[in-house]
Amino acid sequence: MLLKEIKTIFHQELGDSYPKEEIDSFFYRCIEHYLKLERFVLAIQPGLTLTKSEEQPLFEALAQLKQEKPLQYILGKAHFMDLELLVNEHVLIPRPETEELVRWILEDLQDAPGLGPDAERSRSVISTSLKDRSLQILDIGTGSGCIAIALAKALPNAKVTAIDISEKALAVAQKNSVFNNVDVTFVKQDILDSQLAPELELQFDIIVSNPPYVRQLERSQMQKNVMDYEPHTALFVPDNDALIFYDAIAKFAQRHLKKKGSLYFEINQYLGAETKALLKAHDFSEIELRKDMFGNDRMLKAIRT
């Protein structure tokens, strides 16, 4: 069958569920992944014909897309910042909003005392300064490892530790650290458990977390591709205790974050004021609430006093 005919079939089969541009993206990412073909191949070879064995993975992917399975799970890969990460049903798919959280941390480090923001300094000089920073960083609820690995990549002198309650998630994160050639210490730990692993009995410069924060009452707003395929333990919290993880992490940070150390959170967009108030109640200072690219309250930073 001609490749361009398969592209037409993708649009015919998926047109009722996805916009045209997204279907184009699905198709091109599939031919890149399965056939190692560049996106512009149809412009150069409009008559390109595939064998049955070459067609098969494309149609198998199409069948799964019709069931609204996320393409990242179909291909087993996702992109986060400049990283390629392995993903499966045991970890959440990394989101662009979480990239913003990581960039916030790196921007703050560039402006930290000893680095000094200077408009005349080149990007490469700032990058070199960042790479020289020696820090203790903890990522709580690491999932695929996206936050921890991105920070370890940007800060090779930092000691990055990442925890998760799920052994299967940690297995994915470990593979991703090897795949991206970074050294991260992964530890199985429930942050709600008062008994800590020895690796956590440290004083950290930075603690960051994207914990579960979706309330049960918000389930109806979730898309089918999330509800049916992404791990619910990484998403949902009880309606009557929606900030359970933020409270536990704030208490942990009071003991294990250095004085003047920074705590960063990704948060529920509807609970920005409540999360900010919780951190204030735990005696954190300089609390800053930021919106994401979509204009939603999505990130918080606080300093341990």
Are residues 150 and 136 in contact, defined by beta-carbon separation less than 8 angstroms?
Answer: no
Are residues 269 and 297 in contact, defined by beta-carbon separation less than 8 angstroms?
Answer: yes
**In this predicted structure, what is the pLDDT of residue 112?**
62
**In this predicted structure, what is the pLDDT of residue 245?**
97
**In this predicted structure, what is the pLDDT of residue 220?**
82
| Residues with Cβ within 8 Å of residue 220, at least 6 apart in sequence | none
For the chain, residues with pLDDT lower than 70 are: 112-133
CATH topology classification for 88-304: Rossmann fold (3.40.50)
Q: 263: closest CA among 277, 253, 248, 273?
A: 253
**In this predicted structure, what is the pLDDT of residue 131?**
61
Q: How does pLDDT run across 212-240, given as a tens digit for each residue? A: 999 989 888 888 878 888 889 898 999 99
| Residues with Cβ within 8 Å of residue 265, at least 6 apart in sequence | 208, 209, 210, 211, 246, 249, 275, 299, 300, 301
Dihedral (CA of 245, 247, 253, 256) sign: negative
Dihedral (CA of 20, 223, 177, 151) sign: positive
Q: How does pLDDT run across 172-207, given as a tens digit for each residue? A: 999 999 999 999 999 999 999 989 999 999 999 999
Structure tokens at 138: 């903890």
**In this predicted structure, what is the pLDDT of residue 120?**
39
pTM listed for this prediction: 0.89
Residue 128 CA to residue 235 CA, distance in Å, equals: 36
